[in-house]
Amino acid sequence: MLVAELAKPEIRTASDRPLTGRDILCFSHDWTGDPLSKTHLMRILARDNRILWINAIANRAPTASKKDLSRIVRKLTAFTEPVREVEPNIFVLNPLAIPSYGRAVVREFNQRFLRLQVRKAMRKLGFKRPVNMVFNPAAGLLAGKLGETDIIYYCVDEYTAFTGASKGLKEIEEGLFRRANIVVVSAERLLESKRQYNPRTVLIRHGTDWNHFRNALDNDTKIPDDLARLPKPIIGFHGLLADWVDYELIKKTAERFAQGSVVLIGKIAVDAEQKVKILDGVKNVHFLGRRPYAELPGYCKGFDVAINPFVINDLTLAANPLKVREYLAAGLTTVSTDIPEVRILDNCRVAKDHQEFLDHVAAALKSGTSRTEISDSIKNESWDAKVEELKDVIAETSASGA
């Protein structure tokens, strides 16, 4: 039976304030990955709740690339590890599933096998009547089958628009939309497209780890040596180098500012390995690889301008790039391609085409706006504030009986 056909559970809370004193399931990306919106939200919720973080269930079929093969090996190895507490009140489970959902028999197997794994972890931890907070649409297979009192689908991307999205994922996600007590989206475009499935769909935009990135303004914060030695100005990017990044635009930026440096911090995704080759031989483009989250403020301190060079497509138009808020918290004037969710941000210059992007970078390099002023402009957009927004939405839904 499909998830969409199950009866909708009744929202209940264990205290007068929602999401307090509860057991919470969180289906998300791998805990060891870069901190994303769900990481920040769960760390705050872990102050008053227990979290069972379920590492990534694949949304796409693997390729024959070395990266995907290595990931399969890591997943198989991690599956043998016990549930462990990685931070106070946050416990991590490494599930195993077949990365395919197109055939009914495979979907049924995944549903049963994953349910056994999660139920076993819940028994070990004494989880009862949990809140199920789903950030991964593939986990829609399990929604409503784990004894939940309420289901919250936190949709932060147009997942079916990702390269290589698994067959059957669209059906699973649409069932999850309808099944959820509340659907939270992070972008206006997602609100417009998803509320057709569930009238209880609300917009809560991303927050920022402001205190962390504000460290870029501290005198004691050191600019890392691999950045400090590069010619200035430094035009910087941090984040996943995926196929939604405009590498042609990065090349044009490097050529326009040939006396300076274009710095790319982050790992190269499998789907971008061919596209990134356009930058081969461009001497002032520097790939520094993935860097620890703790070190990012130091790198931001060394940037003169930050960039968000996304291609424009169905995926990015629905995105709310977390990195832009992080750049601003670090006091950086930022230049982005025309992504709707960055238009509302102060100190972010939005370009409608490549030429305008290059002109905005040039203007940003001459900008006299102080880094303190830029950072202060985003101060109130904290993750704590976003958790409070979520609690208010749950309280309103409970009060209305929706």
Domain ranges (residues) in the chain: 3-206+383-400, 210-376
Burial class of residue 150 in the structure, from the number of CB atoms within 10 Å of its CB (0-12 exposed, 13-18 middle, 19+ buried)? buried
Selected residue with higher pLDDT from 44 and 16: 44
Counting residues of the chain whose pLDDT is more than 90, the rounded percentage is 78
Distance between CA atoms of residues 245 and 305, nearest Å? 17
- Provide the pairing of β-strand 84-87 with 90-93: antiparallel
Distances in Å between the Cα of 82 and the Cα atoms of 57, 97, 200, 254, 348 are: 17, 17, 37, 47, 44
Could you count the other beta carbons within 10 Å of the beta carbon of residue 343?
A: 11
Tell me 273's DSSP state.
T
Q: Quote the pTM value.
A: 0.89
The least confident of 70-74, 82-86, 136-140, 223-227 is 70-74
Say what the pLDDT of residue 77 is: 58
Query: What's the confidence (pLDDT) of residue 377?
Result: 95
Which of 41-50, 71-80, 247-256, 276-285 is least confident? 71-80
Count CB-CB contacts under 10 A for residue 190: 23
Q: Which of 157-166, 243-252, 309-318, 329-338 has the lowest mean pLDDT?
A: 157-166
Mean pLDDT, residues 141-165: 92
Domains 3-206+383-400 and 210-376 are alike in CATH topology = yes
Q: What is the pLDDT of residue 101?
A: 60
**Do 134 and 150 meet the contact criterion of CB atoms below 8 Å apart?**
no
Reported as a pLDDT band with limits 50, 70 and 90, residue 108 is confident
Q: What pLDDT band is residue 1 in, cutting at 50, 70 and 90?
A: very low
169 or 324, greater pLDDT: 324
- Is the bond preceding 82 in cis, omega lying within 30 degrees of 0? no
> Bigger pLDDT: 336 or 165?
336
Instruction: Please give the mean pLDDT across all residues of the chain.
Output: 90
Tell me: the pLDDT tens digits for 197-233?
A: 999 999 999 999 999 999 999 999 999 999 999 999 9
Q: How many CB atoms lie within 10 A of CB 331?
A: 26
The model's pLDDT over 26-43, given as tens digits with 9 standing for 90+, comes to 999 999 999 999 999 999
- Can you identify the CATH homologous superfamily of domain 210-376? Glycogen Phosphorylase B; (3.40.50.2000)
Whether pLDDT at 78 is above 80: no
Mean pLDDT to the nearest integer, 265-274: 94
Q: Tell me the mean pLDDT in the region 139-160.
A: 94
Would you give the DSSP letter of residue 216?
Answer: G
Residue 289 has pLDDT above 90, yes or no: yes
Q: What's the rounded mean pLDDT across residues 366-386?
A: 95
pLDDT at 251 over 60: yes
Of the candidates 183, 281, 287, 171, the one whose C-alpha atom is nearest the C-alpha of residue 227 is 287
Residue 59: its pLDDT value, please? Answer: 58
CATH code of the region 3-206+383-400: 3.40.50.2000
Range with the poorest average pLDDT among 7-21, 33-47, 176-190, 244-258:
7-21
> Does the N-terminal peptide bond of residue 233 adopt cis geometry, omega within 30 degrees of 0?
yes
State the pLDDT at residue 96.
83
Three-state SS for 132? strand
Residue 238 predicted with pLDDT over 70: yes
Q: What is the pLDDT of residues 341-360, one digit of tens each?
A: 999 999 999 999 999 999 99
Q: Name the H helices within 33-133.
A: 37-45, 66-79, 104-125
Q: Which two tokens mark 58? A: 């694949």
The phi and psi torsions of 208 (rounded to 5 degrees) equal: -145, 150
pLDDT band at 4 (very low <50, low <70, confident <90, very high): very low
Span of 73-87, 236-250, 252-266, 292-306 with lowest mean pLDDT:
73-87
